[in-house]
């Protein structure tokens, strides 16, 4: 008989177990538990139809309709489940631990699955945890103008054994008009939150977490409000690197991509650059003078970042001047600076 477990039990006791999410593809795409496999009981249209019948007719009519959709696919459910859990041990969930997951789990048991666990209150229970898990941790916030190589520094800090939350990597975006270059499709905000929590849950609360200073949104996704407020109220270590050095780094990061993407990004900030600067940037791009393009765009981004910096508590900003964008050397310098200053965030 399928056994009910809490979401806390799943997260702590069933690490590595196959997890089947039986919600519709639309629900799954909007947000799901990382690592879950979607074996939908109903398609998007079928789920909508069943819901309409439930509201307009009755629960029995909706259940009867559901069986009409499901019955022809019973063997398919078993085949797909075996592909996910060949040892016939699995965890199953739906939106809130209702009929869909229970019916699916019973079908698995009736067809030879020997260990089946059901997540009580389903995905809804996971979301509650995912959105309320960012307190009681120390945070070190790393800031700096565009092109300072903050992401590279964070990667080096990880190598040095520090805890790092790389928000831009999780968001699949670097936050600027050029931010999508080099990345695939962004997750939904809901999935971004889920993925963020999935990394956060493994951090040690006794040690600080390094995070890059960000705007409330990164591309099309939003940072959870409570986490963002924590980031903004913390001390900020601002690394100051010359515009010329930063432009050279940007050329390395962006010039290898195709020029149409760069041109599109320039056009998206054209109103802020102004007509003359935009025209000049496009001319330089056409001539493959990526360094000059970088200098032009940095003029805008530096002013934009300064506005945000001015809104922070100036007593909580530490400025560290660095000579270049050597991430390995800069990471070590930053750690030494923190040790000397005797603070690791609050």
94 belongs to the catalytic site: yes
What does the alpha-carbon distance between residue 50 and residue 69 come to, in Å, rounded to a whole number? 9
What does the alpha-carbon distance between residue 38 and residue 43 come to, in Å, rounded to a whole number? 11
What does the alpha-carbon distance between residue 56 and residue 66 come to, in Å, rounded to a whole number? 15
What does the alpha-carbon distance between residue 227 and residue 216 come to, in Å, rounded to a whole number? 10
Q: Are strands 217-218 and 19-21 parallel, antiparallel or unpaired?
A: unpaired
Phi first, then psi: what are they for 157, rounded to 5°?
-65, -35
Residue length of the chain: 346
Tokens for 103?
Answer: 């019916």
Task: Give, as one character, the DSSP assignment of residue 239.
Answer: E
Instruction: Return the axis-axis angle of helices 99-110 and 74-84, rounded to nearest 10°.
Output: 80
Residue 110: burial class (beta carbons within 10 Å; 0-12, 13-18, 19+): exposed
Phi first, then psi: what are they for 161, rounded to 5°?
95, 10
Q: Which of 20, 65, 85, 94 is catalytic?
A: 94
Residue 221: burial class (beta carbons within 10 Å; 0-12, 13-18, 19+): buried
Q: Are strands 163-165 and 37-38 parallel, antiparallel or unpaired?
A: unpaired
| E strand spans, the chain | 3-5, 19-21, 37-38, 89-93, 115-119, 139-144, 163-165, 209-212, 217-218, 221-222, 236-240, 317-321
Active site (catalytic) residues: 94
């Amino acid at each position: 008989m399928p056994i009910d477990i809490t979401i806390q039990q799943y997260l702590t006791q069933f690490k590595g177990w196959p997890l089947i999410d039986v919600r519709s593809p639309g629900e799954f795409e909007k947000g799901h538990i990382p690592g879950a496999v979607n074996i939908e009981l109903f398609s998007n249209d079928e789920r909508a139809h069943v819901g309409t019948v439930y509201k307009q007719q009755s629960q029995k009519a909706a259940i009867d309709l559901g069986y009409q959709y499901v019955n022809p696919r019973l063997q398919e459910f078993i085949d797909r489940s075996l592909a996910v859990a060949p040892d016939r041990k699995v965890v199953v969930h739906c939106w809130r631990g209702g009929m869909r997951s229970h019916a699916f789990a019973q079908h698995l048991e009736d067809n030879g699955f020997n260990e089946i666990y059901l997540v009580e209150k389903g995905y809804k229970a996971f979301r509650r945890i995912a959105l309320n898990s960012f307190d009681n941790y120390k945070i070190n916030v790393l800031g700096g103008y565009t092109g300072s190589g903050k992401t590279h520094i964070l990667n080096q800090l990880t190598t040095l054994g520090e805890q790092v939350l790389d928000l831009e990597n999780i968001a699949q975006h670097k936050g600027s008009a050029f931010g999508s270059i080099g990345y695939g499709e962004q997750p939904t905000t809901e999935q971004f939150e889920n993925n963020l929590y999935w990394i956060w849950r493994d951090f040690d609360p006794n040690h600080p977490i390094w995070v890059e200073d960000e705007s409330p949104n990164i591309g099309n996704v939003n940072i959870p409000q409570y986490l963002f407020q924590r980031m903004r109220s913390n001390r900020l270590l601002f690394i100051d690197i010359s515009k010329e050095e930063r432009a050279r780094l940007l050329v390395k990061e962006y010039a290898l991509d195709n020029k149409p993407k760069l041109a599109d990004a320039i056009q998206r900030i054209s109103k802020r650059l102004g007509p003359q600067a935009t025209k000049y940037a496009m001319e330089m791009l056409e001539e493959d003078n990526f360094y000059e393009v970088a200098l032009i765009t940095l003029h805008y981004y530096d002013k934009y970042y300064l506005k945000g910096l001015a809104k922070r508590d100036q007593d909580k900003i530490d400025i560290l001047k660095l000579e270049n964008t050597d991430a390995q050397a800069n990471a070590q310098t930053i750690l030494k600076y923190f040790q000397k200053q005797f603070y690791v965030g609050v």
